[in-house]
């Protein structure tokens, strides 16, 4: 019996891993933002040090970030090529979380079949096939670290768990600022335990003390200058006001239903309800606290929706396993007990129909959410044919592509931290694609020292234009490339 579950789990892992690999290799490229991380990893490969000073992004800028993910990926490239690693490792790390989901669910439900179902829920959560496919991000490492810590917290009595946990907490802190979620979650855990009149174990209290101080200390060490410049607003990453609604669209029930799945959400909420109002269990309270922490940061717009939903999907899947267990225990006490198995099968089938099947559609679409062949060709042309110190105007989404493929300075990209007057810059860049008046356009191009304009289909879609009107003046602008993407050389300067 034990073996059977193990094989099911391994099979599930292989299915998910291979599916993800299949979709990942459907497209040779990564999402545009991934190239930001790729540059950092390549910098570590070349110089052994993180790239804290970037001569290309925004013309030249300074970064502050926890570098462990970049080092982790750079280390992986010692055994496989970077091109392969960026496709395989995120998928592998995500797929390995299936074991984590199973183990965590087992800690709570003490039932292997329900834990397998919990792992299944997580394996096919729609959001995990939209966001992480072909997307290189520190979340790939932060998520398994985060949930490994949660898992170890549920088994804190074992000494080895504690040592591993301390190492993992430290690793998480230097991987991604989402370590802050852990602090909020642990604090909520203490509050919920207090409300339930339950005692916090001494060991747990000690770990919580340590985690809180370590996380804050590390965050202030890493982001000292960011906090000094942006104050508490640093949590919104200096994102321009017009983009805030896009980056932090707020949490609605329908979005959660769609991205996390109906079954994990309803069963997860059901388990939470039973835990709060009927029978409180420490492990469940921990899961609930973490879920509340994520819901809270999403509600307060401290975290991007897709990232928050990834965290939520794991927790709700685990909670859903317990929900199913509670449901089964209840049904067993009723006259419907003989139908128990059938209802469970029905729920799983409903999950397959409502989540697993759409997952493949989502994954296919997500896999192609990468730069087009035309864009890459044009960027390679830029790299070969423009002066090394040239500045290229492109859309916000193409900013990292300019620096990675074109190896040239951009005017704007999606990392806004520490950029002064970013609001103005963002508006100016948008206006430069829609302007009609040449004189004003030339003034702005001069302001940002732009030498070339990169006009792709993406720019057309983003700004709702078919052409840039002011570039028609051949005295000031020269079309130097035209192959589905147009590149214009700026010849005029304000004296």
Partner 1 sequence: MRRFIQEWGPGILILLAICLALFPLMVRTMNGDPLVPGSESYYNLRIAHQIKEDFTMDYDQLQQRPYNMNLYHYILAVLLFISPSDSLLLILSVMLSFSTAFLLFGSLARLKTDRVLSFIITAVYLLSPLYIYVTTTITAYSVIIFLLVLSFYLFAKKLSVWSIMPAALTILIEPSAFLVFLAVLLTYCYYTQKGYREVGLGFLAGIVIGLIGMTFNYQAVFSLTGGLNPSYYTTDFGATIGYSFFTLLLAATAIIIHWKTGMKAKMVHIFMVMLVIFSTLSQNSRLVMNCVLCVYSGMAIYFFMKRAWVVPVLRDLTLLVIMSSLLFSSISFTSRTSDMEPIADTLKALYEISLIDSEGAVLSTPENGYIIEYFAGKPAYLDELSQIYSDYTRKRTEYQEIISSRSPELTKKLLKGEEIDFIYFDPKTITVFEQQNSGLLLVLEHSENFINLASFRGRQSWLYISI
Structure tokens at 155: 């088994």
Among 52, 209, 342, 350, binds partner 1 (CB under 8 A): 209
Strand duo 391-393 + 452-455: pairing: parallel
φ, ψ for residue 406, nearest 5 deg: -80, -20
Q: How far is the CB of 201 from partner 1 (least distance, A)?
A: 8
Among 52, 213, 299, 342, binds partner 1 (CB under 8 A): 213
Rule CB under 8 A: is residue 207 a binding residue for partner 1? yes
Q: How far is the CB of 65 from partner 1 (least distance, A)?
A: 18
Q: How far is the CB of 209 from partner 1 (least distance, A)?
A: 5
Q: Which of 306, 303, 317, 315 is nearest to 181 (CA)?
A: 303
Nearer to partner 1, 173 or 272 (CB): 173
Nearer to partner 1, 216 or 247 (CB): 216
* CA distance linking residue 18 with residue 16, whole number of Å: 6
Nearer to partner 1, 14 or 244 (CB): 244
Nearer to partner 1, 33 or 428 (CB): 428
Q: How far is the CB of 138 from partner 1 (least distance, A)?
A: 22
- H or E segment and range at residue 161: helix 159-173
φ, ψ for residue 442, nearest 5 deg: -65, -40
* CA distance linking residue 91 with residue 94, whole number of Å: 5
Site for partner 1 in 420-439 (CB under 8 A): 420-421, 424
Among 46, 206, 373, 467, binds partner 1 (CB under 8 A): 206
Q: How far is the CB of 376 from partner 1 (least distance, A)?
A: 36
Q: What is the DSSP letter of 236?
A: G
In order of 27, 239, 272, the CA distances from 233 in angstroms are 37, 10, 33
* CA distance linking residue 188 with residue 194, whole number of Å: 10
Among 63, 210, 270, 302, binds partner 1 (CB under 8 A): 210
Q: Are 63 and 223 in contact, with CB atoms under 8 Å apart?
A: no
- H or E segment and range at residue 452: strand 452-455
Among 7, 52, 217, 330, binds partner 1 (CB under 8 A): 217
Edge-first strand listing for the sheet containing 391-393? 409-410, 391-393, 452-455, 486-490, 477-482
Instruction: Taking each helix axis as running N to C, give the angle between helix 202-222 and helix 159-173, from 0 to 180 degrees, rounded to the nearest 10.
Output: 20
Nearer to partner 1, 213 or 346 (CB): 213
Determine the interface stretch with partner 1 among 71-79, 95-103, 202-210, 322-330 (rule: CB under 8 A): 202-210
Q: What is the 3-class SS of 263-301, one letter each residue?
A: HHHHHHHHHHHHHHHCCCCHHHHHHHHHHHHHHHHHHCC
Determine the interface stretch with partner 1 among 106-114, 323-331, 400-408, 419-427 (rule: CB under 8 A): 419-427
* CA distance linking residue 426 with residue 397, whole number of Å: 12
Q: How far is the CB of 199 from partner 1 (least distance, A)?
A: 13
Number of CB atoms found within 10 A of residue 483's CB: 10
Q: What is the dihedral of CA 97, 99, 102, 106, to 10 degrees?
A: -120
Among 63, 216, 270, 360, binds partner 1 (CB under 8 A): 216
Rule CB under 8 A: is residue 214 a binding residue for partner 1? yes
Determine the interface stretch with partner 1 among 87-95, 147-155, 208-216, 467-475 (rule: CB under 8 A): 208-216
In order of 51, 377, 466, the CA distances from 463 in angstroms are 32, 22, 9
Kindly state the number of chain residues that form the binding site for partner 1, as judged by CB under 8 A: 24
Site for partner 1 in 67-106 (CB under 8 A): none
φ, ψ for residue 315, nearest 5 deg: -65, -40
Site string for partner 1, 146-185 (x = CB under 8 A): ----------------x---x-------------------
Site for partner 1 in 228-267 (CB under 8 A): 228-229, 231-232
Q: How far is the CB of 374 from partner 1 (least distance, A)?
A: 37
Nearer to partner 1, 235 or 465 (CB): 235
Among 203, 368, 377, 431, binds partner 1 (CB under 8 A): 203
Structure tokens at 269: 């909420």
Determine the interface stretch with partner 1 among 10-18, 69-77, 216-224, 466-474 (rule: CB under 8 A): 216-224
Rule CB under 8 A: is residue 302 a binding residue for partner 1? no
Applying CB under 8 A, the residues found at the interface with partner 1 are 162, 166, 202-203, 206-207, 209-210, 212-214, 216-217, 220-221, 224, 227-229, 231-232, 420-421, 424
């Amino acid at each position: 019996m034990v073996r059977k579950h193990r094989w099911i789990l391994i099979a599930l892992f292989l299915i998910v891993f291979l599916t993800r690999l299949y979709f990942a290799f459907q497209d040779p490229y990564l999402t545009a933002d991934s190239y930001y991380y790729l540059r950092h990893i390549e910098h570590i490969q070349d110089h052994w040090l993180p790239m804290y000073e970037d001569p290309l992004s925004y013309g030249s800028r300074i970064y502050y970030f926890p570098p462990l993910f970049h080092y982790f990926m750079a280390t992986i490239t010692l055994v496989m090529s970077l091109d392969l690693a960026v496709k395989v490792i995120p998928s592998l790390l995500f797929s390995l979380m299936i074991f984590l989901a199973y183990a965590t669910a087992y800690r709570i439900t003490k039932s292997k079949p329900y834990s397998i179902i919990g792992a299944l829920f997580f394996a096919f959560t729609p959001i995990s096939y939209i966001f992480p496919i072909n997307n290189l991000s520190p979340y790939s490492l932060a998520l398994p670290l985060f949930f490994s810590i949660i898992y170890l917290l549920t088994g804190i009595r074992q000494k080895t768990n504690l040592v591993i946990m301390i190492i993992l907490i430290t690793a998480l802190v230097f991987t991604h600022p989402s370590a802050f979620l852990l602090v909020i979650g642990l604090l909520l855990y203490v509050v919920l335990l207090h409300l339930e009149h339950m005692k916090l174990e001494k060991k747990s209290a000690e770990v919580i003390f340590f985690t809180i101080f370590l996380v804050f200390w590390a965050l202030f060490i890493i982001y000292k200058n960011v906090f000094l410049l942006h104050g508490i607003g640093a949590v919104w990453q200096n994102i321009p006001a017009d983009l805030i609604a896009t980056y932090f669209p707020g949490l609605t029930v329908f979005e959660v239903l769609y991205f996390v799945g109906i079954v994990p959400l309803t069963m997860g909420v059901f388990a939470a309800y039973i835990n709060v109002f009927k029978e409180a269990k420490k492990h469940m309270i921990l899961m609930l606290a973490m879920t509340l922490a994520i819901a809270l940061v999403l509600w307060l717009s401290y975290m991007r929706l897709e990232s928050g939903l990834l965290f939520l999907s794991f927790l709700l899947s685990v909670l859903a396993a317990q929900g199913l267990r509670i449901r089964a225990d209840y049904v067993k006490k009723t006259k419907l007990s003989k139908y128990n198995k059938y209802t469970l099968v029905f729920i799983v089938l409903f999950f397959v129909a409502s989540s697993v099947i759409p997952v493949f559609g989502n994954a296919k679409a997500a896999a192609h959410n990468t730069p087009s062949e035309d864009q890459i060709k044009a960027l390679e042309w830029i790299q070969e044919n423009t002066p090394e110190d040239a500045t290229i105007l492109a859309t916000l989404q193409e900013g990292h592509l300019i620096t990675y493929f074109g190896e040239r300075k951009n005017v704007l990209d999606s990392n806004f931290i520490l950029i002064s007057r970013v609001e103005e810059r963002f508006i100016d860049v948008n206006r430069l694609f829609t302007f009609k008046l040449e004189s004003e356009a030339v003034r702005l191009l001069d302001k940002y020292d732009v030498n070339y304009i990169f006009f792709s289909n993406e720019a057309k879609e983003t700004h709702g234009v078919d052409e840039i009107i002011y570039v028609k003046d051949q005295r000031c602008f020269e079309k130097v490339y035209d192959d589905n993407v147009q590149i214009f050389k700026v010849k005029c300067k304000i004296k």
